[in-house]
């Protein structure tokens, strides 16, 4: 299923307000969970957040922050975990974050393209 997007007339004014244009682009592709959470939070007020997320889903982006969601190995993950065995409280928090990520995808109108978007367990 392909997501049809209307062509955007992105002016210089809008582009100047995009967080991915204002900050270091490497932040959106960091290995650090903390930096990825910062990138997600910066995407929150972006005027192109929904289009960015839809494009990432359509392209099956392998990794990075797109539209305020973290992609890892082509799947949307609620948060990037640090290396090593997760703590029990982290597993419970991950379950809650997974539900929130699914709700954000549904609110963006991308839940019907669930075959295109995998949520990592």
Residues in binding site for [4Fe-4S] cluster: 20, 43, 46, 52
Residues 68 and 48: beta-carbon distance below 8 Å: no
pLDDT above 90 covers a percentage of the chain that reads: 29
DSSP 1: -
As a whole number of angstroms, the distance between CA 121 and CA 119 comes to: 6
CA distance 61 to 74: 5
Tokens of 5: 């997007």
> How many Å is the maximal CA-CA distance in the chain?
47
What's the rounded Cα separation, in Å, for the pair 2 and 59?
A: 10
Residues at the binding site are 20, 43, 46, 52
Residue pair 52/108 in contact by the 8 Å Cβ criterion: no
Q: What is the pLDDT of residues 60-94, one digit of tens each?
A: 899 999 999 999 888 888 777 666 676 677 777 77
């Amino acid at each position: 299923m392909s997501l049809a997007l209307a062509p955007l007339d992105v002016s210089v004014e809008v582009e100047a307000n995009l967080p991915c244009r204002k900050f270091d682009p490497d932040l959106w592709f960091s290995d650090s969970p903390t930096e990825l959470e910062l990138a997600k939070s910066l995407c929150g007020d972006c005027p192109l957040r929904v289009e960015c997320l839809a494009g990432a889903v359509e392209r099956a982006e392998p990794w990075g922050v797109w539209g305020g969601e973290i992609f890892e190995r082509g799947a949307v993950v609620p948060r990037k975990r640090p290396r090593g065995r997760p703590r029990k409280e982290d597993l419970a928090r991950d379950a809650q974050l997974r539900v929130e990520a699914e709700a954000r995808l549904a609110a963006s109108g991308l839940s019907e393209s669930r075959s295109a978007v995998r949520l990592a367990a």
